[in-house]
Structure 1
Amino acid sequence: GNPSAIISRSYAPVYNNFIMSQGLLDGNYYPLVDLNSISDKSRTINNKIIANFTYNLGKGFDLLFGGVYETSKDENKHLAGQGSSEVNAWVNNYTVTPTAANPTLAFKRNVPDGDFLRQLNTTNTSYTARAQINYNKRFGNHSLNGIAGTEMRSVKSTGNLASYFGYNDQSLLQQPVDFASIFNGVAAVRGTLVTSNQLGDMTTFFNQLYNEDRFLSGYSNLIYSYKDTYSLSGSIRFDQSNLFGSDPKYKYKPLWSLGAAWNIDREKFISEVEWVNRLKLRAAFGFNGNVAKLSLPQVLAVARNNAANTPVLTSLMLLSNANRGLRWEQTENLNLGLDFTIFGKINGSFEYYTKKTTDVMGTSTVDPTVGAYQNQALINFATIRNNGLEFSLNSDWITTSNFNWNTGIAIGKNNSKVLDVSRNGLYNPYVLGRLGYVSGYPVGAMFSYDTRGLNNEGHPIIYDQNGTPFVVNTSNTGTPLTTAMNSKDSGLVQYSGSTLPTINAGLSNRIDFGNFYFFAMINYYGGFKVRVPRPTPSDNRPLPGADNYWRVPGDELKTDIPNLVDLLATNPSWAYSYNKNYVVHGDYMTIGDLTLSYRLNDLNLIKKAGFKNFEIKAQVSNLYTVGFNRYNYSAATRSYAKSYVTPTYTLALFTNF
């Protein structure tokens, strides 16, 4: 039969028939047609050259110098065939037809029919050059190991984007397009019956790309050990880049760490315990950092065409304001760990950590006189603390000459808290959810209203933390209730939990049998909340129950969906949409990875061909997902219609010469 159209992405049938009668193309969306007519292909070539040289200087010193040079080329080809919904939209959006107001207007297609091709080719080039001195010396029971060096790194990306209308993939020819008219700002040609602003910026179709970052680092590390039992370590690193601020007090701030370790298994009171093979206690304290790219000491802007002018003028779009005080996101780390091996085959570790990150990068409101878009800029604006526990276990349960079974377990529990944040603005579930950082709460905190049904007019009723009810309707917009619904101190906005998993666990099993091996990985994410979708009559794909909205008095006894007028107003629709009753536990589990592999290394043909390794591997990722709530709704999919992550199937061949 003929392919079926999906109405939600199509024109109304009556209007679609009308535009086709006027010479336009079919405006319906046919998934099966697009599946066969639209393709995306990519091709990547990577090259890497590594060279390292070592020279023995004597007396425990070695000189190491070398580097890495890498290039990669990516070719991406998007081809939409004639008759696809994408091509039909391009043609229709810029087709001029006679109208009742202008019957003499000539029929003209400003975008030709045919295939549409978009090609993006990028080249990435990077190099790393390093010079390092190593020191390794033993003095009786004492040993000293150290390194000191410098590293220079550059990463550059270039590319070009080109697009072709009326393209023929067989002849490789395309039809001419009057881009001067299409991109002529407010005077640009638009379709008479169907119009769109899709072609408002020519850089969407033709563009040149260039980006380069440079880094210079100095580093040193020193380890002292006594009797191979007790050890102290220290490291320090200085980094410079074209990304950092120009204020001297932020430019040369070092990152450093100190550590200590005790190999308890070498002590006599433990070495005599036969089932303990390894026992090591370790501790470390230090600082590391990170920098955001779009917050620079200079004004950062990108050239673009300004379609608000006729003819179109070249303009600058501000990406970042000058931030002379830019500084690292700096994290203070404290780690305490215990590593062990018992019974000769069970390896594990316990670790406690606490991390305090200052100068976190994020978007915040700034002085409007600086000229930032919507008074928002990327700045150092928050302080966050994380602490948690991690446990891992790994063991080869059965090992023979031809068989091995290995199991790995990893469990982590993390708690976060925003200690300080620089922000101003409304305090409501929508704004706070987009911000992600609220002082006194975990990162990713979720907020809701305590909405408890409707009154006899179909208006939502919300309660503050003291149990006082407030009726929310369209008439109180702009009243004190609006202020209260956007206030931190009113008690109406209540914390519902973190949207980020606080518990992560993984279980893996690998079985090797001869030249075969099988691997399976299960992941669990828990300790967080999700807001499930609400039945809403105006949705394109309404959920079951969406038609059960309030119509007449008495309906409030059987539904919590407000009347249709309230659903279109801000306050009552938010009281419904951010109802805490639609917040549930977000725990979910995935079968993340199944792999089956076979090695052909023993075949004479493989050996004669000079292969060191020849392996065929079949893999499926995200095979199964289940949400542990009454909706089977998971943060992995965020969908009722599709309760699983789309599996990825891979068949690969790995070789080494």
Structure 2
Amino acid sequence: MYIFYTKKLWTPPRSIAKLLLIMRLTTIILITAIIQVSASSFAQKITLSEKNTPLVKVFDKIRAQSGVDFLVSTSMLQHAKRVTIQVKNAELADVLEEIFEGQNLDFAINDKSVVVSKKTPGFLDRVVSAFVDINVRGRVVDSAGNVLPGATVKIRGTDRVGRTNENGVFNFAGVDEDAVLEISYLGYKLKAVKVSTDLGDISLEVLTGELTEVNVVSTGYQTLSKERSTGSFERIGEKTLNNKISQNIFNKIEGEVAGVTTDAAGKFIVRGLSSIRANTDPLIVVDGFPVEQEANTINPNDVESITILKDAAAASIWGIRAANGVIVITTKRAARNGKLNVRASVNTAFTPKQDLFATPLGDAATQVAYHKAMYEVGGYYLPSQLYSGVLNGSSGRVINPVGETLLLRDRGDITAAEAENRLQQLANTDIRKEYMDLIQQTESWRQYNVSVSGGSKNYDFTTSASYNGNDKEFVSTGAKQYLLNFANSFNPFKGLKIDGSLNFSQSKENFPASTTADGISSVGVNNSTTFLNNVPINGRILDEEGNYVPMESILSFGAQSSNLALSRGFPYSWTYNIKQELENTNNVLRETALRMQTGATYTFLKGLDFSMKYQYEWGQRNNVDLHNEQTLFTRARVNMFSKLTSGVVSGYNIDPGAILDTDVRNQRAHTFRSQLNFDRSFDEGKHQVVAIAGYEVRKTLFDRATDRKYGFNEQSLTSIRPDFRPTVVPAVSLTTITTVPPNSMNEYIENRFISYYANGAYTYDNRYTISASTRLDDTNLFGTSSKYKNIPLYSIGFKWNVYNDFFKESEVVDDLQFRTTYGTNGNVDRSTSPFLQAKIKRGFPPFNGMSADIISVPNPELRLEKTGTLNVGADFTLFDRFVMGSAEYYVKNSEDLLAFTTLNPTLGVTGALINNGTLRNEGFDLNLRFRVLENSQFSYATTGIFSVNKNTLKKVDVPNKQVFEYVNGTVAESGAALRTIYSYQYRGLDVKGAPRFANELGDIVDVKTFINSTDALVKHGSLIPKFYGSWINDFTYRNFYLRALTTFKAGHVFRYARNNNVTYIPAVSVKAPSANVAADFNQRWQKPGDEQFTDIPGLPTLVDRQQGTGYDYYRDSDKFVDNASFIRLSQLNLGYSLDKKLVDRLVML
């Protein structure tokens, strides 16, 4: 401080003094005016209302109101604290004082500028700090400025460790001024910071390839803080999804979530099956709305997160569709005030051709031996099968070349030496190599994706485009798909937000030769396994000159019979060749899907808003299957229904020309929802209330039309309609069909839903949370009985934050929360109806009118299947975040399950689906994550996921159950799990090489004994795994990351395929031998005494074939059921993240 001392040296005359006084006053007035004018240019009143706002944004708002400029370097603002301020019409200087309080910054007003500088400690402060320790304060945030509560802050070289509070703030007292802090948080890079009294905001960078802790989950109706939710949620974040490459978003779920597995068909099962006959698929929700469309309409690159709702508290808000769990998909949205982001990706994958030699199938010599043995047994190959100059369905067909050779030898057409030579050639001929070269191709898919997003203060948008190209298993088959997505939102004025999105998908897929079912046996071979089941490997596809070789098919003849048919006026050749069929197929499926969403949300006051949303879905599946005149599909049908006069073709019931099959399916869905949302805290956060209430109406429509055009001309697009009414006897009987199949059908289904729902949760002092929800669904799928209509579903829940009560000072427990819920969900079977259902059809002559078949009788007591779920869980973090995890126990009791029940025959039907089943699922989910090592260079974390589910059918009224239902795993049996399979008890071979079995009394019976008691069967277990889970290992080293995902399933069984390609099974129930046989045919019983060394039956004699039903039991015996448990390395992902500076230089975001 400066002090000036003055002394009067001279007293001026009175007149001069008066003049000087006037001059002084004038000067003062001028200076005051000047100062006032100067001040008025930046002394406007300032009004601010900011909460946790970056300092630089506060500067922008002050500049906009006052015109003042801020002079400050970017580096000074890196550690500046966020600002919370509430002022109205305040002076600039006062506002600046409040803003800079607590900051490690100082300011000075200079004309129209505010100069910001780093605060310099005073002399006394510097003297004191040289002798005493300092107090350290800071706040830990992520790159977006979000606070990170529970982050670990350690003083390097000491055992002093602290954690950030719920606001991300930490404090240390008495710290050496030269000390260094090490700050860590799960999923973020370790950061070292030199201490100072006020460190401001310390930003942590995300570890590449590392899972981050999830704090927010979405139910589809609302977004909840996981810390205050009582339900069971599992969330898969964007980084995990990005680490898995797939065209199908649902393929990225497996192994990532406890309590979720898949069955043999790849369908998801959430905590066990909850229905006997109704749909068991979980409900799929995309951006808040349930979707009817297929998974391939969702671009996996657009997905930000997937949340699995597993218990009633989490899923009950979805009511009658949530018993099987809910999968909530949230797509990416742009950030406001964000710069333009452009992302591009290219993914590709290859699947090598299926190696047909790497199968249990025997080699070519084994196939020759098999068919020779079948021929010698007798009854399988007959002389009448050979061409005899007569055109009929029982001779002149293509038969196995071994059997044909032996038949020609015995008929005298060739000598024994010629036959032996042929058999030797066949033993050296294997069609599999030719098939792999001519028919198969390397499967591959390519995905190109680009997205653009950005935003301003009041607007944001995201748009993406993706292309998928696929090469399928067969040559000339494949698919391509285009996906477009656009989403945006804007605030036209304060309080109102309007958003909208559009998703469009269009695909085209070429399929192999058609297998259209029109009552006539289909001829297509649509995969390699089917090929091996039907085509002898001793044959050929092309001969030495490249001509098509006639091959076996139900609707074809050999070359001689085909030539005979042509000579009698039949319009087409009657032979089949798989290559010819593929080259002429034109089976195209086009799918188009459109999903549009729009909505508006208005905020009335803080924490209270009202929203209205609407979604429209439209999808079309258009299958055009053109069978030109070169396909056997067309040639066989036209030939069969030709008109004959004296054995010569005189006309046609089906005119020559192509056959065009069309199948068009349209699906539409409308959903409207209005919802009131409340989210508010009181008393400085001590009381937190979150609640929603809403109304929803939904309608789904489905229609389908199939049609067939005969005599179709591809150029003129004309066709010739045959007369479908009169009975037509096929000229050559290759089928039991006696009329020209019209193959036309029309179908229409409409379902309507009206729902009312509410959900609320209250949290006290961040320690205790209670929640409750209810939903009332009404639909046309329920019966007319008021007893079963309008039944509300509900849930209640409680959560206790034990850590905040007992463990705040603990060095072991970082977090501990207990939660429990109970509630009800529902399930609806859309195939049933409370009303009479009938199928209209055209009658056969002489009754050519329309008739109807009753599908189901009226059931006014038809009601929803209801599942009550109890869930008890704990979430914990231990040992300085070394261990994180959750453990949950649940019980699901499902009642009123639909099961097929026998009815009084006088009702006109033998049975119907009635609500009469009860099912129980009990299980445990465990999720443990260990942060083994983490420093600035290297990190390693491992996660173990384990689930167990016990599924038991408690009650079902299904009388007259048959043995074959048990064997096939289709029976619902009280006391057993769903999809439990049973088998005959195999007891080896007798002295004649025939199989033996145990009956219901445990006695061994021979192959001729009929077993009709279910007590004779052995129960193996379910086809659904009881135990499942995964082991995930995440490694990072600098910019490299490695992820290994190992999955396992156990506690279930499987049955070997019931054909000779997998294991040799003597053919009995069919009149022809299998096309091929497995290699263990060579280990079969062949002579007395072999039963001591093998359990593979010998070939049955003709008498045994006719009388020995036990040969059929053999293929369904316990010999062919095995443990299905496995451990599989499902994913191994190695990547490298480019340095951010390099990325910025390349302008890649």
TM-score (norm 2): 0.46
Q: 2:979 aligns with which of 444, 453, 456?
A: 444
2:1103 aligned with 1:577 = no
Counterpart residue identity of residue 177, structure 1: R
1:173 aligns to what? Answer: 717
Structure 2: distance between partners of 1:379 and 1:432 = 24
2:565 aligned with 1:19 = yes
2:628 aligned with 1:81 = yes
Residues 465 and 175 of structure 1: CA distance in aligned 2, closer, same or farther (over 3 Å): closer
2:1029 aligned with 1:505 = yes
1:620 aligns to what? Answer: none
Residues 587 and 313 of structure 1: CA distance in aligned 2, closer, same or farther (over 3 Å): farther
Q: Are the aligned partners of 1:71 and 1:124 in contact in 2 as well (CA < 8 Å)? A: yes
SS in 1 for 2:582: helix
Counterpart residue identity of residue 190, structure 1: P
Residues 74 and 463 of structure 1: CA distance in aligned 2, closer, same or farther (over 3 Å): closer
2:560 aligned with 1:34 = no
Structure 1: distance between partners of 2:713 and 2:941 = 55
Counterpart residue identity of residue 767, structure 2: T
Q: Note the alpha carbon deviations across 1:4-25, whole angstroms, 9 max, x for none.
A: 4542556453544543443353
Equivalences for residues 319-358 of structure 1 within 5 A: 319-341=855-877, 344=881, 347-358=884-895
Q: Are the aligned partners of 2:659 and 2:712 in contact in 1 as well (CA < 8 Å)? A: yes
Q: 1:462 aligns with which of 997, 1000, 1005?
A: 997
2:695 aligned with 1:150 = yes
Equivalences for residues 339-488 of structure 1 within 5 A: 339-341=875-877, 344=881, 347-372=884-909, 375-393=910-928, 409-431=944-966, 433-456=968-991, 459-464=994-999, 467-473=1002-1008, 482=1010, 485-488=1011-1014
2:750 aligns to what? Answer: 212
2:1064 aligns to what? Answer: 535
Counterpart residue identity of residue 1022, structure 2: S
Structure 1: distance between partners of 2:936 and 2:1105 = 69
2:858 aligned with 1:313 = no
Q: Deviation at 1:254?
A: 1.6
Q: Are the aligned partners of 1:94 and 1:194 in contact in 2 as well (CA < 8 Å)? A: no
Q: Deviation at 1:427?
A: 4.8
Q: Deviation at 1:336?
A: 1.7
Counterpart residue identity of residue 173, structure 1: L
Residues 536 and 320 of structure 1: CA distance in aligned 2, closer, same or farther (over 3 Å): same
Structure 2: distance between partners of 1:259 and 1:470 = 58
Q: Deviation at 1:153?
A: 0.3
Q: Deviation at 1:213?
A: 0.8
SS in 2 for 1:561: coil
Q: Deviation at 1:227?
A: 1.0
SS in 1 for 2:858: coil
Structure 2: distance between partners of 1:593 and 1:302 = 48
Structure 2: distance between partners of 1:366 and 1:312 = 31
2:1014 aligned with 1:524 = no
Q: Deviation at 1:593?
A: 6.6
Q: Note the alpha carbon deviations across 1:510-549, whole angstroms, 9 max, x for none.
A: 8999999998765433211122235223334333345877
Q: 1:97 aligns with which of 644, 657, 668?
A: 644
Q: Are the aligned partners of 1:295 and 1:379 in contact in 2 as well (CA < 8 Å)? A: no
2:388 aligns to what? Answer: none
Structure 1: distance between partners of 2:1137 and 2:968 = 49
Structure 2: distance between partners of 1:27 and 1:218 = 63
SS in 2 for 1:535: coil
2:215 aligns to what? Answer: none
Q: Percent identity?
A: 27
Q: Are the aligned partners of 2:712 and 2:720 in contact in 1 as well (CA < 8 Å)? A: no
Q: Are the aligned partners of 1:50 and 1:68 in contact in 2 as well (CA < 8 Å)? A: yes
Q: Structure 2 stretches of 5 or more lacking a match?
A: 1-545, 1068-1073
Residues 150 and 350 of structure 1: CA distance in aligned 2, closer, same or farther (over 3 Å): same
Q: Note the alpha carbon deviations across 1:530-570, whole angstroms, 9 max, x for none.
A: 22235223334333345877777556554542734444457
2:727 aligned with 1:190 = no
Residues 537 and 570 of structure 1: CA distance in aligned 2, closer, same or farther (over 3 Å): closer
Q: Deviation at 1:258?
A: 1.3
2:771 aligned with 1:226 = no
Q: Note the alpha carbon deviations across 1:97-129, whole angstroms, 9 max, x for none.
A: 34xxx44x6433433444333233333221111
Between stretches 296-305 and 235-244, larger displacement belongs to 296-305
Q: Are the aligned partners of 1:126 and 1:154 in contact in 2 as well (CA < 8 Å)? A: yes
Q: Structure 1 stretches of 5 or more lacking a match?
A: 477-481, 614-657
Structure 2: distance between partners of 1:196 and 1:516 = 66
Structure 2: distance between partners of 1:30 and 1:331 = 53
Q: Are the aligned partners of 1:277 and 1:340 in contact in 2 as well (CA < 8 Å)? A: yes
Equivalences for residues 134-145 of structure 1 within 5 A: 134-140=677-683, 141-145=686-690
2:779 aligns to what? Answer: 241
Structure 2: distance between partners of 1:451 and 1:132 = 62
1:71 aligns to what? Answer: 618
1:639 aligns to what? Answer: none
SS in 1 for 2:758: strand
Structure 1: distance between partners of 2:626 and 2:586 = 5
Structure 1: distance between partners of 2:1038 and 2:636 = 57
Q: Note the alpha carbon deviations across 1:400-423, whole angstroms, 9 max, x for none.
A: 999998876533221111111111
2:707 aligned with 1:162 = yes
Residues 396 and 456 of structure 1: CA distance in aligned 2, closer, same or farther (over 3 Å): same
SS in 2 for 1:97: strand
Q: Are the aligned partners of 1:334 and 1:355 in contact in 2 as well (CA < 8 Å)? A: yes
Q: Deviation at 1:438?
A: 0.9
Counterpart residue identity of residue 176, structure 1: I
Which structure has more relative contact order (CA 8 Å, sep 6+)? It is 2
Give the structure with the larger helix fraction. 2
Counterpart residue identity of residue 674, structure 2: A
Equivalences for residues 538-549 of structure 1 within 5 A: 538=1067, 539-546=1074-1081
Between stretches 147-156 and 426-435, larger displacement belongs to 426-435
Q: Deviation at 1:242?
A: 0.8
Q: 1:295 aligns with which of 832, 835, 852?
A: 832
Between stretches 63-72 and 343-352, larger displacement belongs to 343-352
RMSD after superposition? 3.9
Please tell me whether Structure 1 or Structure 2 has the larger radius of gyration of its CA atoms. Answer: 2
